Structure 1
Amino acid sequence: MPGPEKKDTGAMPVRQLDPRSLRGLAHPLRIRLLAALRHHGPATASQLADRLGESSGATSYHLRQLASHGFVEDAPERGKGRERWWRAVHRGTTWDASLFDEEDPETRGAVNVFMHEIATIHGQELSTWIGTMRDWPAEWVKNADLSDFTLRLGPRQVRELGERLHALINSYSDAEPDEDAAKVRLHLHAFPQRDE
């Protein structure tokens, strides 16, 4: 996701988007396919179609498009016979803020599609948590967080805050997980609002 450059803490690197790769990724189904492969690991087009409620023809086509832009690749060690497995190449994406200044209408449209789809995914993930939290042990429900803050900051301070938060979050990716660890999603949004 866009934001400050992330430290590479794992074997999989973070992909720096440029105008061409952003345009290749900026399709709602491609973004969801890539997110599914990153969050759940390698899968076939049929498995992804079932997970996302799409046709396997659509997932196959968009996986090939993602591959042509270097976002996914074959996972041949997983396949049996003609079964084709896919895996994510990078653990995340980031981009330089200069993409917001692009004059090319296609790139500007790609920025909008990407940002809106990420916001939609975040909303869906949060709704899923709220709808299923009673299925989790009480310890998880008590310790999960749903907070918002309003601060008065300038653009430089927002960037600094983001960098510090990213550094803190990345420090946990190197930590030994607790015995009762589960996959935890963190969303970070920082944006200005006009005073009423």
Structure 2
Amino acid sequence: MSDSTEGTTAHPNPIRRIDARSLRGLAHPLRMSILEMLSLDGPATATGLSARLGENTGTVSWHLRHLAQHGFIEEEAGRGTKRERWWRAVKDTKVLETAEFHQDSDVRGALSVYMHELVQQYFSRVTNYLSESWEGDWQRAGTVSDWKNLRLTPAQLKALNEELMAVIARHTPAPGAETPPESLPVIVQLQSFPRKERRDG
């Protein structure tokens, strides 16, 4: 399985393939939450993040430095002070080929933590959306859907994913492009995977 938190077709950012070292550096619930916040909401300080996360500022600062050491975040130059630094997510497209690590006992634990936390993030985004109040056209703009009647070969499933990525790419604004004032950030989550059949008898 190939995992990408940002579809490679939809973003012109450089592609970063996550190796064993960086996977171990990222695979921690708090670090993944910090990276998600910086990716979705932009630069922040340890103080601001700790307030949102309900964590000690010193703990958040330690994890920020750890993320920076592994190249997932960077300090925002020209902003902040010696005592209060601003951090931002590195703009790249992270790709993880999970098949590379399934047989590696030294990395399998980190892979399990990473995938579990990633799915939890996906779930939390949907539940947050459903719990919030939306008005006007936004009430009918989103969707939570699934399809259960497909039967595909591996090649067909891969082709389906590539076509879906291409659709998202067509709707992704170019860097620096102006967007309508009524627009809001939109998250598209794609999970497509085979299911092992279970038959009685």
Normalising to structure 2: TM-score of the pair? Answer: 0.86
The structure with the largest helix share of the pair is 1
1:124 matched to which residue of 2? 124
Distance 1:8 1:164 in 2: 11
Question: Matched residue of 1:77: which SS?
Answer: strand
Q: 1:188 aligns with which of 170, 187, 190?
A: 190
Aligned residues of 1:23 and 1:106 also touching (Cα < 8 A): no
Question: Matched residue of 1:179: which SS?
Answer: coil
Deviation at 1:125, TM superposition (A): 1.0
Distance 1:47 1:114 in 2: 24
Name the stretch that deviates more: 21-30 or 156-165: 156-165
Unaligned runs of 5+ in 2: none
Closer/same/farther in 2, CA of residues 165 and 23 from structure 1, 3 Å limit: same
Closer/same/farther in 2, CA of residues 100 and 156 from structure 1, 3 Å limit: farther
Task: State the 4+ residue runs in structure 1 displaced beyond 3 angstroms.
Answer: 7-10, 175-179
Q: Which amino acid aligns with 2:70?
A: H
Distance 2:54 2:157 in 1: 37
Distance 2:76 2:159 in 1: 38
Deviation at 1:81, TM superposition (A): 4.7
1:19 matched to which residue of 2? 20
1:95-114 aligned within 5 A? 95-101=96-102, 103-114=103-114
Aligned residues of 1:76 and 1:84 also touching (Cα < 8 A): no
Distance 1:116 1:83 in 2: 32
1:1-196 aligned within 5 A? 2-3=3-4, 6-7=8-9, 9-10=11-12, 12-101=13-102, 103-132=103-132, 134=133, 136-150=134-148, 151-174=150-173, 177-196=179-198
Closer/same/farther in 2, CA of residues 82 and 53 from structure 1, 3 Å limit: same
Question: Matched residue of 2:171: which SS?
Answer: helix
Question: Matched residue of 1:114: which SS?
Answer: helix
Distance 1:23 1:193 in 2: 28
The structure with the largest strand share of the pair is 2
1:98-154 deviation line (CA, Å, top 9, x unaligned): 4244x322311111111110110111111111111x2x2231111111101121112
Q: Sequence identity, in percent?
A: 40
RMSD: 2.1
Distance 1:97 1:45 in 2: 31
Deviation at 1:80, TM superposition (A): 3.3
